[in-house]
Amino acid sequence: MEQRHNESHDDGDFQYPRRLNAFGKWVSRQVRTLVEGGYDATGVRHDGYLQNGSYAVSAVARLRRSVGHEVGADPDIFAWTMPPSEHPEIAGDISRYPQGPSPEERAAHAAITLFAVHQQSNRAISMHTDSNVSFGRAIGSMACGNFNEDGIRGMFDRLQTANSWKELVRHARSLISLLKRERIAINYGLFAQDLLSLRGTRNQANAVRTLWGRDFQSAYRHEQMERDGQEE
């Protein structure tokens, strides 16, 4: 049965400006390599998704098909989604999870497969940004003035109170699909960190909800002022 993890995180993960820990940096590198290109495990360099590189295009397609699947159901995506077990600061203490994936492995799998949904068919711009754009900030920007604002708010609320990884990813996928349509990028390193904490202790989950709530409201107000200024 899935359990919440109790590993502590550096309090700095919840400070402004948000900063990436080792896990978040690893996730960011993975998605950046998918988009921009880079070297595989054998040292061969491949073009990225934006360059229509066949290796990246194939990887994004496989990752997208794996959204919502259990970690381990699609081993051919491990090169992209499996944190290096020899680095516990990235992968966590895997010795505590001999019968299944660690929380870090779950969060990496969720974030990187959701990124593939976000990026699919878009060869113009990356849907990952290194800027300080949290999931909450992106959703707040999208919600303002949207004809489906109530639906967006409802999905966002349900994601934050999801009782399982499966439920969380289902709601996240719906919102990511909307962000894709609007071409709003997020920082996937931050997203992975926040997913990890959202399924962590009560205090960690509450901290993420608070941060996302702040970011949502801040981005919403900014969009509202921009719209009001254009109408004058």
Give tens-digit pLDDT for 139-197. Answer: 999 999 999 999 999 999 999 999 999 999 999 999 999 999 999 999 999 999 999 99
How far, in Å, CA of 184 to CA of 170, rounded? Answer: 19
pLDDT in tens, 26-68: 999 999 999 999 988 788 999 999 999 999 999 999 999 999 9
> Cβ(24)–Cβ(190) under 8 Å?
yes
**Cα–Cα distances in Å, from 144 out to 135, 149, 153?**
15, 7, 10
Average pLDDT over residues 212-219: 97
CA 77 to centroid of chain Cα atoms: 16
pLDDT value of residue 16: 59
| 80 CB neighbour count, 10 Å cutoff | 21
Tell whether the model's pLDDT for residue 215 goes beyond 50: yes
Q: pLDDT tens, 81-92?
A: 999 999 999 999
Which residues fall within 8 angstroms of residue 230, CB to CB, at 6 or more apart? none
What pLDDT is stored for residue 10 in this prediction?
Answer: 42
The rounded mean pLDDT for the chain is 92
Map out the domains of the chain as residue ranges.
19-231
Q: Could you tell me which of 161, 159, 108, 116 has the C-alpha nearest to residue 135?
A: 159
In the prediction, which pLDDT does 130 show?
96
Closest CA to 9 of 23, 26, 29, 27: 23
The answer to whether residue 132 scores a pLDDT higher than 90 is yes
CATH of domain 19-231: 1.10.520.40
CB atoms within 10 A of CB 94: 15
- Burial (0-12, 13-18, 19+ Cβ within 10 Å), 208: buried
What is the model's pTM?
0.90
CA 176, 178, 183, 185 torsion: positive or negative?
Answer: negative
Phi and psi at 47, nearest 5°, equal: -70, 155
pLDDT band at 226 (very low <50, low <70, confident <90, very high): confident
| CB half-sphere exposure, 43, CA atoms < 13 A | 0
Place of tokens 């949290």: 134
CA-CA distance, 128 to 69, in Å (whole number)? Answer: 22
Give the model confidence (pLDDT) of 195-209 as tens digits.
Answer: 999 999 999 999 999
Please name the residue that has the structure tokens 């699947």.
Answer: 69
Instruction: Determine phi and psi for 128, rounding to 5 degrees.
Output: -105, 135
**Residue 100 pLDDT grade (very low, low, confident, very high; cuts 50, 70, 90):** very high
